[in-house]
Amino acid sequence: MAYGLLNGKRGIISGALDDKSIAWKVALKAKEEGAIFTLTNAPIAMRMGAINQLAEQCNAEIIPADATSVEDLENLFTKSQEVLGGKVDFVLHSIGMSPNVRKGKAYADLNYEWYKQSVDISAMSLHKMLQTAYKLDAISEWGSVVALTYMAAQRTFPFYNDMADAKALLESVARSFGYHYGKYRNVRVNTVSQSPTPTKAGSGIGGFDKFFEFAEKMAPLGNATADQCADYVVTLFSDFTRMVTMQNLFHDGGFSMTGISEEVMGLLAKE
Ligand code: NAI
């Protein structure tokens, strides 16, 4: 059921790679709730072609941008305003990639060039997006920016590797820029810390299946799905959350606040 939560709102949605992507679900939900938006992803991701299908479904234009390139981001914000007919009201940052994770480098044996890339793509890109938008004054008053993150920023999950460091920086950028953009245009900036979700980026993390199952058994409500994440993100783009900013918001069925669950205790008892 749609509520018209985003009627009349314009936005930019990054990171929709395929129909499993969290950004893909956010795009469908934002469309359902009445928003118009542009879609963006790294030029290299366009080759997979799936995003065209989403664009058609959402009646949205695609503007390729490598999130590490300020030039590409300037083009993204300028073109989006042209296409949508005004400043944007919401931005989704749904971008993450670690060459160290991809190539199986252990945390105690990182390749530092790749480490820089992990941080640039997965965290500094949020700063670059926000700074570009700020300089172009491209986000309207009371606009909302949401970036997706994971709890490895607060607690250690060994297999999450250098992405944990990137997420810690991402969350810090959201707090710091949330202050500056709040003062400037009452724009809010938050991160949503999502449950493990079977997507391209998620499944790339070592031992994902086991960890997914563990989190499912720990969280009293179970793991939050990508669709449920989209529901939550849409509320953060809506006018109902105008005073929520600089927060890291857990969307994880209660996992982050659970010490141990009866299900996990039961599994240990069997050993
Ligand atoms: P995904 O693989 O569908 O999305 C990641 C996106 O990042 C892809 O669309 C990819 O093309 C894009 N990307 C990579 N390098 C880029 C660059 N240089 N410029 C622009 N875009 C680039 O996977 P998912 O899970 O939907 O990831 C979205 C966000 O959610 C990421 O920040 C991820 O860390 C976060 N997240 C994912 C969880 C999971 O278990 N899947 C859990 C918590 C957070």
Tell me the ipTM for this assembly. Answer: 0.99
| Centre of ligand 1 from the C-alpha of residue 211, in Å | 18
Residues 175 and 179: their CA atoms lie apart, in Å, by 7
Q: How far is the CA of 95 from the centre of ligand 1 (A)?
A: 4
What residues are in contact with ligand 1 under a 6 Å CB criterion? 14-15, 17, 21-23, 41-42, 45, 66-68, 94-97, 121, 148-150, 194, 196-197, 199-202
> Is 160 designated active site?
yes
Question: With bands split at pLDDT 50, 70 and 90, how would you rate the model's confidence at 254?
Answer: very high
Q: What would the pLDDT profile of 184-241 be if each residue is shown by its tens digit? A: 999 999 999 999 999 998 888 888 899 899 999 999 999 999 999 999 999 999 999 9
Binding residues: 15, 21-22, 95, 167
Please identify which residue in the block is written with the tokens 């009349």: 8
pLDDT tens, position by position, 117-144: 999 999 999 999 999 999 999 999 999 9
SS3 219: coil
pLDDT tens digits for range 140-162: 999 999 999 999 999 999 899 99
> Which of the following is catalytic: 160, 181, 184, 232?
160
Reference 35, options 90, 92, 94; nearest CA is 90
pLDDT tens digits, residue range 231-242? Answer: 999 999 999 999
Between CA 11 and CA 85 the distance in angstroms is 11
Domain boundaries, the chain: 10-270
Mean pLDDT in residue range 92-105: 97
Q: How open is the CA angle 32-12-34, to the nearest 5 degrees?
A: 20
| CATH code at 10-270 | 3.40.50.720
Tell me which of 115, 150, 181, 232 is the catalytic residue: 150
Mean pLDDT of the chain: 96
d(CA 119, CA 162) in angstroms, rounded, equals 8
| pLDDT band (50, 70, 90) for residue 271 | low
Determine whether 150 is an active site residue: yes
